[in-house]
Amino acid sequence: MLYDEALRGQKETIVSDDGSLTLYSKEFNESYHSPKDGALRESLNKHVIPAFSLDRGKPSLRILDICYGLGYNTLATLHYIQSQNLDVKVEIFSPEFDEALVQSLKDFAYPAEFEPLRPIIEALSTNFSYEDEQFKITILIGDARKTIPQLLTAPSSLLTEKIDIVYQDAFSPKVNPLLWTREWFADIRALCSDDAVLTTYSTAAATRMGLYENGFELHYYDAPNTRRSLIASPKKIESLEWIDMELKKVRNPGAKSLRDRDIELSE
């Protein structure tokens, strides 16, 4: 793979602009969150709030959080549900290749908003899973390109119903292209319901093409105090700014999706 295991444990703490802490990965030469947008603010404004604002009123939701990292998206989801008194059951699946990082998070200095979630944080750090009457969380330790397709693999499939929400929040296409290719988005689409919502910070042409080529309609999303992001769904969302990808292709005929075959892999 492209990962440098020798640098995996080398991380530096960063105070982001909203005061919440994130880490800088020397392995990927990139921070886990945008320091400018703020770690907590980014999770809430780019992922959780837009996804739940487009909820179809389902009594239960299945969420795919790509990737777990510091756990902000998963924890922000639980915080939002509790703070808004939402009557919904949630099951979250989240791949993560850095097992030692997850184990260390029981001691991470999360924002005060996550303090009521401390027992959940400790359970996830220890067992990579948590379950109560409302929440069920499973961290899939390993390479996401291998663990995600296994969600639907019989007879031990973990996923009994299709995914409703995807947080596409891996390290950027520049440093982690394998989680942004056309083939990757094909795997994601196979897991999604026909009215699923995918949120991502990446608005790059290659990202848009990879999603569009797998049957996603694309929309821009503008949240307070964060940069423009993207929302994708198999169905066009009338309340959002729709992107006419056929017109984009005419105007930019050289635009193309990332492909697995174009990425040099090292074993």
Residue 55 to residue 59: CA distance in whole angstroms? 10
pLDDT per residue as tens digits for the range 180-206: 999 999 999 999 999 999 999 999 999
List residues bridging with 242 in a β-sheet: 219
> In which band, very low, low, confident or very high, does the pLDDT at 6 lie, cut at 50, 70 and 90?
very low
Per-residue pLDDT reduced to its tens digit, 41-98: 999 999 999 999 996 788 999 999 999 999 999 999 999 999 999 999 999 999 999 9
Domain ranges of the chain: 35-260
CA 211 – CA 206 distance, rounded (Å): 9
**What pairing do the DSSP bridges indicate for beta strands 11-15 and 21-25?**
antiparallel
For the chain, percent of residues with pLDDT exceeding 90 = 83
pLDDT at residue 263, rounded to an integer: 86
Region 200-221 average pLDDT: 97
- Judge residue 89's burial from the number of C-beta atoms within 10 Å of its C-beta, 0-12 exposed, 13-18 middle, 19 or more buried: middle
Which CATH architecture describes the domain 35-260? 3-Layer(aba) Sandwich (3.40)
Among residues of the chain, what percentage have pLDDT more than 70?
93
pLDDT given for residue 160 in this prediction: 80
Say if CB 107 and CB 123 are below 8 A apart. no
User: What is the average per-residue pLDDT within 163-180?
Assistant: 96
Q: pTM of the prediction?
A: 0.93
Which range, of 4-8, 127-131, 192-196, averages the lowest pLDDT?
4-8
Measured distance CA(106)–CA(111) in Å, rounded: 13
48 burial (CB, 10 Å; 0-12 / 13-18 / 19+) is buried
Give residues with Cβ within 8 angstroms of 124, minimum separation 6.
71, 102, 105, 130, 137, 139
